[in-house]
Amino acid sequence: MTALHALRPPVSDTGAATRERILDAAEALFAAQGHGASVRQLTAEAGCNLAAVSYHFGGKDRLYEEVFRRRLEPLREQRLRGIATFIERSGDGLTLEDLLRAYSAAFVESWVESPRGSAFMLLLSRETVEPHLPAGFLAAFFEPIHEAFSGALARLVPGLGASDARLSSHAFVALLGNAISLERAYGATSGPASMAVPSLVDHATRLLTGGIRALAKNGKRTDNRDR
């Protein structure tokens, strides 16, 4: 019995349970080995046969897509609700740094602190290096989040152009993702304190706060160049 089998609680042998077992096994194996993980490996981990994969997903490529869809659909809705709720609750007292810190906290919770977040982030990193998803697949999940977040940035910072707001949203996500990657590279326990996720996220937040304010102060340079 593999470690994955040992950690997985027993489930009733229903169609829905089989489907979830296949998705759990696929997520773990794709994160560890990439898209090259074989269907036979998946079925061995999930405790099912090849026909079950074909029945529920139609094949490995569709299964690969569903692994992403299962995580990204609720994440997208959670982020969109979170941005809207935070802005509504904060009212006129909301500051740029408040928004960035709230967003970074949600980002870290999703990818680091949740039980499956780290494994899925590894899988997402693999996909960005060696893409196998259809064109536009990931954009359908992430672009609505960037649109909502960049819209909030533009409202909070007078003078910040739409293009600069959108680029700032993407830049912040890149900084946060890199912060998590750096901690892994240096080691969460053995690395220097400056490489710990909280320190890196705090630095990224302060860095982007100053950068966004500087962009707004300098005017719509990026927007004008894009015309």
Tell me what pLDDT residue 120 has. Answer: 86
3-state secondary structure of 219: coil
Q: Are residues 44 and 78 in the same domain?
A: no
Tell me what pLDDT residue 7 has. Answer: 37
- Alpha carbon distance 160, 156 (integer Å): 9
3-state secondary structure of 154: helix
Tell me what pLDDT residue 90 has. Answer: 85
Total domains present in the chain: 2
Q: Are residues 11 and 102 in the same domain?
A: no
CATH number for the domain spanning 22: value is 1.10.10.60
Assigned domain for 63 exists: no
Tell me what pLDDT residue 178 has. Answer: 81
Q: Are residues 7 and 35 in the same domain?
A: yes
CB 222 within 8 A of CB 161: yes
Tokens 């040992």 belong to residue? 6
Q: Are residues 192 and 138 in the same domain?
A: yes
Tokens in use for 152? 């909030």
3-state secondary structure of 208: helix
The pLDDT tens digits for 122-160 are: 898 899 999 999 999 999 999 999 999 999 999 999 999
Assigned domain for 30 exists: yes
Q: Are residues 77 and 129 in the same domain?
A: yes
Q: Are residues 177 and 216 in the same domain?
A: yes
Encoded amino acid at 133, one letter: L
Tokens 């220097």 belong to residue? 192
- Alpha carbon distance 153, 51 (integer Å): 49
3-state secondary structure of 102: helix
What stretches in the chain show pLDDT beneath 50? 1-12, 222-227
Assigned domain for 113 exists: yes
Range of the domain at 2: 1-58
Tell me what pLDDT residue 44 has. Answer: 94
Assigned domain for 159 exists: yes
Assigned domain for 38 exists: yes
Task: Please work out, in degrees rounded to the nearest 5, the angle formed at the alpha carbon of residue 29 by the alpha carbons of 67 and 78.
Answer: 35
Q: Are residues 125 and 33 in the same domain?
A: no
| CB-side neighbour CA atoms (13 Å) of 79 | 28
Strands (E), the chain: none
